Structure 1
Amino acid sequence: MKSIFTTLTFVLITVASYAQSRFVRLETNKGNITLMLYDETPKHRDAFLKSIKKGLYDHAAFNRVIKAFVSQGGELDETILDREKLSPEKPLARIPAEIVPELFHKKGALGAGRNDNLEHSSYLTQIYLSVGKPQTDAELNAIEKKKGHQYSPKQREIYKTLGGIPRLDLDYTVFGQIVEGMEVADAINSVPTDKNDLPLQAITFTPKVLSKKESAKLLEKLPKN
């Protein structure tokens, strides 16, 4: 238990130094999860906040839950793509990729879903929470060789202790992370699902943007460098 706490503190120290400015609380029927949105990915940050303001995520569902991998919420790929087929003359609505190597798929990372497009652009209304599992040096070495990318010592330590999904790095945009409610995220990722990875009992959420006062109070609680 002590080592897990130390690792989580290490992760928070790493990101707190960025002095992120926007936070969102996912109010789920399993409890609350608080997300910090990265200022390094402003297009995704602002698109998510805009979608929340429009109510596009009100009473959304975690509709694809794969244990020890991801918990996906919002619209399904099929729903988005079928709707787009109805208006083929319209340009596809996507968020341009904002892939920052320093922002990686550690456990608790917030990512944006996408289809298999060459630009790696993201859907407007699909998010996922990374879960994954602890990685070995050999596994990380293989990922580095495959992607032509080298992890920093801090990133390797986080992947080896806290865990995550390094095979998604550099292919999907990570634009935030969990700072409170990791136990709720774990509970969601552990629910029974059917053969299509849909939870047998609906897991819903409504995101609420924290006020400046709430955000400032939360930042005070996070470890600083």
Structure 2
Amino acid sequence: MCVATGLQIGCSPKNRTSKQTPTTNTKVENKEQRVQVSTEYGNIVLKLYNETPQHRDNFIKLVNDTFYHDLLFHRVIRNFMIQGGDPQSKNAQPGQQLGAGDIGYTIPAEFNNKLIHKKGALAAARQGDMVNPQKRSSGCQFYIVQGQVLDSARLQMIGMQNGISYTPEQIAVYTTIGGTPFLDMNYTVFGEVVSGMEVIDAIAAVQTMPGDRPMKDVKFTITLVKE
């Protein structure tokens, strides 16, 4: 279960049939929820967008269920993103290939042209378009964008290719803070980093093996921030 690298999309095994999101009785109050990602490199605080309620509610449920306890950031690409949430990473052996684990269901895409892949964006991984034309999200795997700063000409070209017209504010973000605009409207963005951007940079800089798994495991645990 991966996100695009350049124009190539990696995914989990093609023969897998994605199930629909299960119905639960979990209800989340309509307020901005924050979560903390704890790592040996420091803590990352994320806020979850109310504009993507299905992704928000699912993420909160998994956090409450301690699903994200001692998992790995199993795929790390400098100047791109860090990815985690594969349940198979919890007890993974050294060198084991990861990324194909899932939770048995997917979530409908919740694209919003106001929610872009700026640096620090939290988004859902998914299978590729060939097996997932509706671009449904993984029920558990996510990534946090590091990305790069782009010039306006490059951003305009990406926008034209994807049929996106960026606002002046979004252009300013991509040309000063950076991100991965080629993923916009293709992967659901459902949150962003509030604090701990330096932790993203530190994790993105670690040495990796073929397949982009860090040489040294980068464990994380996610908990709700009580307010």
Paired position in structure 1 for 2:72: 61
Q: Which letter does structure 2 place at the counterpart of 1:74?
A: G
Any residues of structure 2 matched to 1:16-55 within 5 Å, and which? 21-55=32-66
Any residues of structure 2 matched to 1:1-225 within 5 Å, and which? 21-75=32-86, 76-80=98-102, 93-116=105-128, 117-211=132-226, 213=227
Extract unaligned runs of 5+ from structure 2.
1-29, 87-97
Counterpart CA distance in 1 for 2:84 and 2:137 is 14
Counterpart CA distance in 1 for 2:154 and 2:85 is 31
Q: Which letter does structure 2 place at the counterpart of 1:45?
A: R
Q: Which letter does structure 1 place at the counterpart of 2:164?
A: H
Counterpart CA distance in 2 for 1:159 and 1:59 is 32
Counterpart CA distance in 1 for 2:204 and 2:125 is 17
Output one character per residue of 1:7-34: Cα deviation in whole Å (capped at 9) or x when no partner: xxxxxxxxxxxx9610000011111000
**1:20–1:164 distance in 2 versus 1, CA, 3 Å:** farther
Q: What is the number of residues matched between the two proteins?
A: 184
**1:131–1:20 distance in 2 versus 1, CA, 3 Å:** farther
Displacement of 1:79: 2.5
Displacement of 1:129: 0.5
SS in 2 for 1:49: helix
Q: Which letter does structure 2 place at the counterpart of 1:102?
A: K
Q: Which letter does structure 1 place at the counterpart of 2:182?
A: R
Output the aligned Cα RMSD: 1.4
Extract unaligned runs of 5+ from structure 1.
1-18, 84-91, 214-225
